[in-house]
Amino acid sequence: MPEITFQPGGKSVVVPEGTLLLDAAAKAGILIDTPCGAQGRCGRCVVRVESGEVSHRENPHLSPKQLQEGWVLACVARIKNDLVLGVPPRKEREKVVEERAGTKTAASVQCDWPRYPALRQVFLELPPPSLDDAFTDVDRLQRVLSKEHSIERLYIELPLLQRLAQTLRQSKWQVTLTLDMYDRGGEARLIDIQPGKTEGPLFAIAVDIGTTNVVMDLVDIRSGRTIERVSTRNKQISRGEDVISRIVYSEKGGLAELQRLVVEAINDLLKELSQKHNFDTKQVYQMVTASNTTMTHLFLGLPPRSIREEPYVPTASRFPVVTAAQVGVNINPLASIYCLPAVAAYVGGDITSGVLASCLFKTDKLTLFMDVGTNGEIVLGTSEWMTTCACSAGPAFEGAGVRNGMRATTGAIEEVRINSKTLEPTLEVIGGVLPRGICGSGMITALAEMLVTGVIDRSGRIKAPYVQEVMGESSRVRRGDHGAEYVLAWAAESDSGQDIVLTEVDINNLIRTKAAIYAGMAVMARNLGINLTDIEEVLIGGAFGQHIDIEEAIQIGLLPDLPWERFKFLGNTSLWGAYNVLLSKHARDKVEEIAGKMTYMELITDNSFMNELMAAMFLPHTDIDQFPTVKAALEKVGAAKTS
Amino acid sequence: MPEITFQPGGKSVVVPEGTLLLDAAAKAGILIDTPCGAQGRCGRCVVRVESGEVSHRENPHLSPKQLQEGWVLACVARIKNDLVLGVPPRKEREKVVEERAGTKTAASVQCDWPRYPALRQVFLELPPPSLDDAFTDVDRLQRVLSKEHSIERLYIELPLLQRLAQTLRQSKWQVTLTLDMYDRGGEARLIDIQPGKTEGPLFAIAVDIGTTNVVMDLVDIRSGRTIERVSTRNKQISRGEDVISRIVYSEKGGLAELQRLVVEAINDLLKELSQKHNFDTKQVYQMVTASNTTMTHLFLGLPPRSIREEPYVPTASRFPVVTAAQVGVNINPLASIYCLPAVAAYVGGDITSGVLASCLFKTDKLTLFMDVGTNGEIVLGTSEWMTTCACSAGPAFEGAGVRNGMRATTGAIEEVRINSKTLEPTLEVIGGVLPRGICGSGMITALAEMLVTGVIDRSGRIKAPYVQEVMGESSRVRRGDHGAEYVLAWAAESDSGQDIVLTEVDINNLIRTKAAIYAGMAVMARNLGINLTDIEEVLIGGAFGQHIDIEEAIQIGLLPDLPWERFKFLGNTSLWGAYNVLLSKHARDKVEEIAGKMTYMELITDNSFMNELMAAMFLPHTDIDQFPTVKAALEKVGAAKTS
């Protein structure tokens, strides 16, 4: 019989050929967690074959590279002959799970924009005027700019013109000009003039103004590097959690207040950065923002009312370049602020920015870009064409409409594994603390696990009798205020000292949300004569998207059933696009082109949307044949359960 | 002997052939004024030959047309046979004098700019949005602007964008846009949006910001007509009379105050106009200004210090278009203000405006344009080339440095005639009141009369013994605090109850002033290889120029000795140019081209200027052969005196 040695430690046991590695480990007294109940689903039981051979190596949770390195799942692989197995500590095993197929970390997409920032700083040494060379101060600047920098037209803002003469003379005709090359057609706009040669970073900021969070990159235009990323709450939250409630608040006279609140959040971040890196915020000379259409309207003080009223027409989708002074952002008052263009009321600058950052616009592959936030915006296309829609998915994944829902911060349950045999859950909590609630990624995994383990049926109803049968006295399913509910964490295990549950109402909300997104994709694909299975690449943007587990998102029918390698998580594409625009005129041209090129599809006027939505209100879908891998998994589970 | 009948009245006398008409009139008891002492100089004794013939009809004071009509000077023409003479009342005779050769009234120069105002108002009826036509508000505007008005790019100022949605909806999608077509390259800039269809005038203002006076034309862009011209003092006068003293004041911390003062003067005029014509000044949507370089600097709040310090380099000669809000002018805050471009520190936008208004830029004739103000700016050229200089003539003609000098307002002596025989003066006073002082045109005529009648010699010294000999006891020449002086008006005849005099110091100042202007012309002509006599046309701009008597200006050597018909008075060319720019993009393009094309000649660095200046410090000039008609006149007078 083969002998199995476990490292580190060197313990060894002898077991029959064909024994599961998990069982061999147990025999050696080594405990390996199996949150899914040793079903090969969660991937947490990875171990590494250091020598010898095993059978049943393959598992979708392992990438080819990981297999190559010797990783196997202990709950799946079986012993063939003598083995040396590495059992790394839990932390390391989790890392392996996260690296699985490379999908859970943001893919690095590089569009390789040629460096061509709108912001430039040039040092000029001017010849002092004389009777033989009596050019005006402005013409003197212009002459050298033209000769040494090929800048033919200079627009000087009045406040700078008013101090030009003195600055030139006091600095002995040696000055550094800060120029915006790009806001007034072919004219370079002078934003600042400083005596002598200015060294050090040339600051600009890229800002993702989210409904919930404001995230800011401090960028050094000279080096092209992001110095630091900081984020804070969008202070508007105190006046409404989602865009609709803010629009309503603005209609009641709150527009100016909302404008002020988001600017305050931005100014707080600026203060934080300036204190940390010891600079004056007046030295920040440009700002590019990406945000949804409502947030852009509120930031610029544009009334958003018509965004929520049929026919959903915003004031603008392309916004005038404004100066910081005009909106109150505490950077250089003459610095320009460029808001990335939107496409429609519910497809904003965050999406055009995402398309820019994702390089969708230059791919040959049929690509789906999605940003799963409150709305669920979708773009389908190639470099040749792009169609977009917004699914009005609702904010369930952001915690609203879910009893113990919360955002993905410390204390949020971000992953749930349910043991198929015991139906007991294992939780991952952000920050490793006692749980306070459950966030979007936690909800997806909970739903998928409940489905696969038979806690809920495909319509989302909790199968109370079955759970009762398995769990007996300690059943986690019970009747609560909102009907049946599953207890994720008992009061004693929770931060608040109260049970954390997922109710049938919560589950219905989540199903509605995922159904809206899937229906949007389905309608768009059909209208374009495309099969969802034809999609060659799925790019998932947005902060939330980054934490989705693909397998489980497919299992609940949020994502189409495609091979996992077609999915890529891109992280905060909204901010990444804004950063690109700071660094390259070409990126800015491109995002304007993208906004102009995208065809907006209004789902509300599409008769088939409601049908698709109803059909998608099942797990994963009424037509399970659209999800063959899920069908297979459920059949296997069903077979296992009945065996 | 011929019989002479005088009309109206029908009195007749019989006198010998060859009798002067003046003497015949005296015999008939009809008094005709002869302020110059019947020397044929002043032209005041015009009468009209209704039938019969006279000899000695010609006189330079009569135009060919006037001769044709029968006008003759009574002090020159002699009787040949029976005559009927019309002796019109004095008023009518003066009109004949003023019409002489058409020179004293502003010539009507028409460059015939095609109407193409930067300011436009368009009425739009927009289709309301629907689910099938969900263009944004901005795109909806843009679509109709493009289709109906071929306006392809619209820039909407933020404050207007902020109220766009409401205005469109409240007005049921029928709005009037006010657009500035010309400030942002190819973009139309939205300045105002009003519900419904706006009727009535579309107001703009052209403003001549003079050192002394601010003159404003209220223009209706729709009809192209000037509704009214108003003027007021430039309130900066309280802080210095001339540009240099204002620059000095600005250096002592007074820049902001000077800026505010000139804007107050402009706002006062706006208030006057708005009350009179019953409109809101916020309905004035554009402003174009013409002013000298210092005034433009002060208006825009640019420090003018370097204008007065060698090498006389202003901050700018082309100025950024600003909004009314930026400088505090009380028109629509988003209205643009365009300041006409300058050429150099002492050749300002008033001169480029003058060149534009005078059509010099398109003439084939060698033309001299001059604006005889404080500085005496000169432009010499044709459509092919233009050279300009400033003569730093000083403000003597504006009343400064002349003991009883004053501006050309009520009470100013504007014309002086001295009787060759009695040396008694006859005065014309503005407003027909008792004199308070003497203005520029009065000084020129006084100087010329004193020269021609022998009160002063060609160096400007008063010939006291000669005057004493003629006038005896009642001599108007005496010694005063400032040396010798000639009494123009005795205390009893003056408003203040004090004598009004012209002193030798005054005369020296005036000679220095006229010498600077003439020297400027002479140096410029010589540097260009041109003879002053080659000049085919002399265009005289500026308010003051309008009141100059050509003959006398030549007699003192202020103007070159050219045939009178080559001179044209154009009036306020500075304002006229600004008006053209309001009405035509082409005029605006042209004035920019003119400013770029004009070659500035710095007289201070020209070695020959001081020599020319010294040579011109004589009446009319050291080299009298440059003034043949004056030489002849003086010889005739000298001959008369010694006869």
Q: What is the mean pLDDT of residues A125-133?
A: 94
Domain A203-339: assigned CATH number: 3.30.420.480
Specify the residue for token string 């920040």: A284
Q: Which residue on chain A is closest to B130 by alpha carbon? A: A311
Q: How confident is the model at residue A102 (pLDDT cuts 50, 70, 90)?
A: very low
Distance from CA of A571 to the nearest CA of B (A): 30
Cβ of residue A344 closer than 8 Å to a chain B Cβ: yes
What does the pLDDT read at residue A643? 42
Q: How far is CA A145 from the centre of its chain?
A: 42
- Residue B142 has phi, psi (to 5 degrees) of -60, -40
Asked if the domains at A3-102 and A203-339 fall in one CATH topology, the answer is no
Flag if A169 and B604 touch (Cβ within 8 Å): no
CB pairs under 8 A between A and B: 142
Flag if A137 and B314 touch (Cβ within 8 Å): yes
Q: Which residue on chain B is closest to A256 by alpha carbon? A: B162
Question: For residue B575, which amino acid is it?
Answer: L
In A, which residues are within 8 Å of B161 by CB distance?
300, 302, 315-316, 319-320
Cβ of residue A592 closer than 8 Å to a chain B Cβ: no
What does the pLDDT read at residue A642? 45
Q: Provide the chain B residues 92-151 that lie in CB contact (below 8 A) with chain A.
A: 129-140
Fold classification of B119-195 is Ubiquitin-like (UB roll) (3.10.20)
Cβ of residue B300 closer than 8 Å to a chain A Cβ: yes
Cβ of residue A168 closer than 8 Å to a chain B Cβ: no
Residue A436 token pair: 């306070």
Coil/strand/helix, residue B182: strand
In A, which residues are within 8 Å of B600 by CB distance?
134
Flag if B166 and A303 touch (Cβ within 8 Å): yes
- Would you mind telling me the total number of residues written for chain B in this entry? 643
Domain A351-394+515-634: assigned CATH number: 3.30.420.40
Closest-CA residue to A217 (of A594, A569, A583) = A583
Percent of chain A with pLDDT over 70: 96
A171 vs A159: CA distance, rounded Å: 18
In A, which residues are within 8 Å of B130 by CB distance?
311
B574 vs B562: CA distance, rounded Å: 25
Edge-to-edge strands, sheet with B11-14: B11-14, B3-7, B83-86, B46-51, B71-73
| Segment A298-343, tens digit of pLDDT | 999 999 999 999 999 999 999 999 999 999 999 999 999 999 999 9
Cβ of residue B301 closer than 8 Å to a chain A Cβ: yes
- Would you mind telling me the total number of residues written for chain A in this entry? 643
Coil/strand/helix, residue B348: coil
Among partner residues A136, A303, A314, which is closest to B314 by beta-carbon distance? A136
Q: Provide the chain B residues 173-202 that lie in CB contact (below 8 A) with chain A.
A: 184-187
Cβ of residue B164 closer than 8 Å to a chain A Cβ: yes
Q: How confident is the model at residue A126 (pLDDT cuts 50, 70, 90)?
A: very high
Among partner residues A139, A140, A155, which is closest to B320 by beta-carbon distance? A155
Flag if A313 and B136 touch (Cβ within 8 Å): yes
Q: For residues B36 and B449, is the Cβ–Cβ distance under 8 A? A: yes
Cis peptide before A311 (omega within 30 of 0): yes
A557 vs A618: CA distance, rounded Å: 8
Cβ of residue B256 closer than 8 Å to a chain A Cβ: no
Cβ of residue A253 closer than 8 Å to a chain B Cβ: no
User: Residue A368: pLDDT above 90?
Assistant: yes
Q: Which residue on chain B is closest to A162 by alpha carbon? A: B302
Distance from CA of A109 to the nearest CA of B (A): 32
Cβ of residue B253 closer than 8 Å to a chain A Cβ: no
- Residue A52 has phi, psi (to 5 degrees) of 95, -175
Q: How confident is the model at residue A638 (pLDDT cuts 50, 70, 90)?
A: confident
Coil/strand/helix, residue B292: coil
- Residue A79 has phi, psi (to 5 degrees) of -80, 135
CATH architecture under which domain B3-102 falls? Roll (3.10)
B51 vs B70: CA distance, rounded Å: 9
- Residue B370 has phi, psi (to 5 degrees) of -135, 145
A99 vs A74: CA distance, rounded Å: 17
- Cα dihedral sign, A339-A345-A350-A351: negative
What does the pLDDT read at residue A99? 63
Distance from CA of A629 to the nearest CA of B (A): 39
Which residues face B189 on adjacent strands? Answer: B155, B180
Among partner residues B158, B166, B311, which is closest to A131 by beta-carbon distance? B311
Cβ of residue A607 closer than 8 Å to a chain B Cβ: no
| Segment A578-615, tens digit of pLDDT | 999 999 999 999 999 999 999 999 888 888 999 999 99
User: Residue A553: pLDDT above 50?
Assistant: yes
Q: What is the mean pLDDT of residues A546-569?
A: 90
In B, which residues are within 8 Å of A186 by CB distance?
185
Specify the residue for token string 């030295």: A283
Edge-to-edge strands, sheet with A425-429: A425-429, A412-418, A437-438
Q: Which residue on chain B is closest to A155 by alpha carbon? A: B320
Q: Count CB atoms within 10 A of the CB of residue A413.
A: 28
DSSP string for A369-414: EEE-SSS-EEEEE-SS-EEEEE----SGGGTTTSTTB--SSTTEEE
A442 vs A236: CA distance, rounded Å: 26
What does the pLDDT read at residue B593? 96
Give me chain A's average pLDDT, please: 91
Cβ of residue B259 closer than 8 Å to a chain A Cβ: no
Give the residues of chain B that fall short of pLDDT 50. 101-103, 642-643
User: Residue A556: pLDDT above 60?
Assistant: yes
- DSSP label of A498: S
Q: Which residue on chain A is closest to B189 by alpha carbon? A: A320
Among partner residues B140, B161, B306, which is closest to A302 by beta-carbon distance? B161
Domain boundaries defined on chain A: 3-102, 119-195, 203-339, 351-394+515-634, 396-510
User: Residue A194: pLDDT above 90?
Assistant: yes
Flag if A184 and B186 touch (Cβ within 8 Å): no
- Cα dihedral sign, B13-B19-B24-B26: negative
User: Residue A112: pLDDT above 90?
Assistant: no
A588 vs A593: CA distance, rounded Å: 9
In A, which residues are within 8 Å of B315 by CB distance?
136-138, 161, 164-165
Distance from CA of B466 to the nearest CA of A (A): 48
The CB-side HSE value for B218 (13 A sphere, CA atoms) comes to 26
In B, which residues are within 8 Å of A344 by CB distance?
134
Q: How confident is the model at residue A123 (pLDDT cuts 50, 70, 90)?
A: very high
| Segment A400-425, tens digit of pLDDT | 789 999 888 899 999 999 998 899 99
The CB-side HSE value for B480 (13 A sphere, CA atoms) comes to 17
Flag if A605 and B302 touch (Cβ within 8 Å): no
Among partner residues B134, B187, B318, which is closest to A312 by beta-carbon distance? B134
Distance from CA of A126 to the nearest CA of B (A): 14
CATH architecture under which domain B350-395+511-634 falls? 2-Layer Sandwich (3.30)
What does the pLDDT read at residue B296? 98
Fold classification of B211-339 is Nucleotidyltransferase; domain 5 (3.30.420)
Q: For residues B451 and B458, is the Cβ–Cβ distance under 8 A? A: yes
In A, which residues are within 8 Å of B305 by CB distance?
165
ipTM for the predicted complex comes to 0.86
B631 vs A437: CA distance, rounded Å: 109
